[in-house]
Amino acid sequence: MELTKEEKEMLEGKKGNAVKKSMEILVALGEIFGAEKLIDVKSVQIAGVSYDNLGDAGLEFLEEMAKDGKVKVFTTLNPAGMDLENWKELGISEEFAVKQKMVIDAFAKMGVLTTCTCTPYFVGNKPSLGEHIAWSESSAVAFANSVLGARTNREGGPSALAAALTGKTPEYGYHLDEKRKPVVTVEVKTELRNVVDFGALGFVIGKRIGNKVSFIKGIPKASIEELKSFGASIATYGGTALYHMEGITPEKAEEAEERIEVNAEDIEDAKKELSDGSEVDFVAIGCPHCSIKEMERLAELLKGKKVKKETWIAVARPVKEEAEKKGWVKVIEESGAKFAADTCFVVAPIKGRFKCMATDSAKGVFYARGKNKFKTVIAPVEKLIEIATS
Amino acid sequence: MELKGRKIFGGRGEGKAIVSSEGISFYGGVDPDTGIVAEAGHPLEGKSIAGKILVFPQGKGSTVGSYTMYRLKKNGKAPIAIINKECDTIVAVGAIISGIPCVDKIDIEKIRDGVKVKVDADKAVIEVSE
């Protein structure tokens, strides 16, 4: 890989230890994937924030990098393992809370905005068409590449941090035009009614085509919430970083020769596969984090009702604050539902705490089963509130 | 026998090879406190990778695996060096942040489990005892 004079100095350690370590990561990745050079990025989203995943060693690594590392570009953060204010009510231990706060402090010291959300695009980190970025968090990567038309590979926590501390990423994969072209066309031959249907579609396509770039036809319209759900699901089940949707996503793309079809039966089968429980004791909404529109809908549905089951609503703190101004937070809290801002039911340390989780998120189902050992029910939000309040 | 590969992260080390024919997922697949492979059904299940020359085709699974490698190193349970067929992002980043010598593009089928291996990752060369 060709490095500029400045980049060579960064690699040699002339700009400090954190920059040196970061350059070692970026150059090694560039060599492995055949990049010719490093390119500048406009923004970064960092995953690997929950202390549940990092442990003490991960925390030490971040503190080491924070000694002399400072972000060079606008950088936001994935959800933490707990609500940074409301953690006690969510049943998080004091010991965990102390360590989690140390993780957040290390990121803050490096100049990372501690947004703690998987939906950075709702809180000001919203890249434009064609912009190069370096994001981790698979659902956000799918959203940025596809819905916004920005350009990023699926970064891991350390490689995203390395990009933040240098402002650079190796030029390979989804940064290049030829890697963004569809290689399979998907014809959707059924009507999709809500975020659950879109999540089921992501499940079906992801399982069938894996991480291939697709050109999806036959969807007349899709809301931001539906695209958020679809991208999270296709990324979870297929490892997908980028899809094109005819008439909906902004990047110019052409149909590919290889074709697959998705019909009504596929969607129904997927929804059956995503539900394997019945005795719900936990209702979880907001994977990825709720939009402001979803907050309004929850307030409408919960007004004057009381939840009888543990109910969590995961959301970015600024979106919650916006909803607070509208009076929706008060209405929701009066129902007994709890907010899980800064965190979510995927990364919080809740393994084995519940038996069966109901959610509207296909991605949420995957982690509820694998990481947390819950059974699952998937249903649209109206049905979820019915379950929660009965 | 000397084999030449590609340097992922420099350094040198010598030890007994532990060879896996399957990929390794460090996150969830290896216990960061003991270095014992925990993945059910994995060829190395129940065996420790600590203090060995770890030979496997490539990494798999969650990107959090890089942090698991770092945890192993800090706990004194990391392998001395890693030899891959085709190194992937997770293992490469894990080796770099943990300071574990790592070489790839090696024909790993030529390395038998338990033999002595000398790794010079700076030169991307490994020496396998017959």
Taking the C-alpha atoms of residue A229 and residue A268, their distance in angstroms, rounded to an integer, is: 17
Taking the C-alpha atoms of residue B83 and residue B103, their distance in angstroms, rounded to an integer, is: 5
Beta carbons of A21 and B96 less than 8 Å apart: yes
Nearest CA in chain B to A58: B67
Domain span holding position B80 = 2-128
Beta carbons of B93 and A25 less than 8 Å apart: yes
CATH of the domain at B49: 3.50.30.10
Out of A55, A56, A158, the one facing B66 most closely (by C-beta) is A158
Beta carbons of A157 and B66 less than 8 Å apart: yes
* B69: contact with A, CB 8 A cutoff: no
Distance from the B34 Cα atom to the nearest Cα atom in chain A, whole angstroms: 14
Beta carbons of B66 and A156 less than 8 Å apart: yes
pLDDT at A379: 98
CATH topology agreement for domains A5-174 and A282-388: yes
Percent of chain B with pLDDT over 90: 77
* A48: contact with B, CB 8 A cutoff: yes
* pLDDT tens digits for range A323-379: 999 999 999 999 999 999 999 998 899 989 999 999 999 999 998 988 788 999 999
pLDDT at A85: 94
Q: B60, B89, B90, B104: best mutation site toward chain A, by most A Cβ within 10 Å?
A: B89
Beta carbons of B67 and A157 less than 8 Å apart: yes
Beta carbons of A29 and B93 less than 8 Å apart: yes
**pLDDT band at residue A157, thresholds of 50, 70 and 90?**
very high
Q: Taking 80 as the threshold, does the pLDDT of residue A104 lie above it? A: yes
Identify whether the C-beta of residue B128 lies closer than 8 Å to the C-beta of residue B1: yes
B116-120 and B12-19 strand pairing: antiparallel
Percent of chain A with pLDDT over 90: 93
**pLDDT band at residue A57, thresholds of 50, 70 and 90?**
confident
Taking the C-alpha atoms of residue A104 and residue A113, their distance in angstroms, rounded to an integer, is: 10
Taking each helix axis as running N to C, give the angle between helix A362-370 and helix A195-209, from 0 to 180 degrees, rounded to the nearest 10: 70
Domain count, chain B: 1
* Interfacial B residues in 90-129 facing A (CB < 8 Å): 90, 92-93, 96-97
pLDDT at A139: 95
Out of A47, A58, A155, the one facing B71 most closely (by C-beta) is A58
Domain definitions of chain A by residue range: 5-174, 181-273, 282-388
* B67: contact with A, CB 8 A cutoff: yes
Architecture of domain A282-388: 2-Layer Sandwich (3.30)
Architecture of domain A5-174: 2-Layer Sandwich (3.30)
User: Comparing A145-154, A165-174, B34-43, B71-80, which segment has the lowest mean pLDDT?
Assistant: B34-43
Phi and psi dihedrals of A373, rounded to 5? Answer: 60, 35
From the list A219, A274, A228, A270, the residue with the least C-alpha distance to A248 is: A219
**Which strands form A243-245's sheet, in the order they lie side by side?**
A243-245, A214-217, A184-188, A259-262
* pLDDT tens digits for range A262-313: 999 999 999 999 999 999 999 999 999 999 999 999 999 999 999 999 999 9
Q: What is the ipTM of this complex?
A: 0.77
Out of A55, A57, A156, the one facing B63 most closely (by C-beta) is A156
Listed in order, strand segments (DSSP E) in chain A are 38-40, 43-46, 74-77, 134-135, 168-170, 184-188, 214-217, 243-245, 259-262, 282-285, 310-315, 338-341, 356-359, 375-378
* pLDDT tens digits for range A219-241: 999 999 999 999 999 999 998 99
Q: Taking 90 as the threshold, does the pLDDT of residue B61 lie above it? A: no
Contacts of A363 (CB under 8 A, 6+ apart): A139, A199, A229, A232, A233, A235, A236, A287, A288, A346
Taking the C-alpha atoms of residue B20 and residue B112, their distance in angstroms, rounded to an integer, is: 10
- For residue B104, count other CB atoms closer than 10 A to its CB: 23
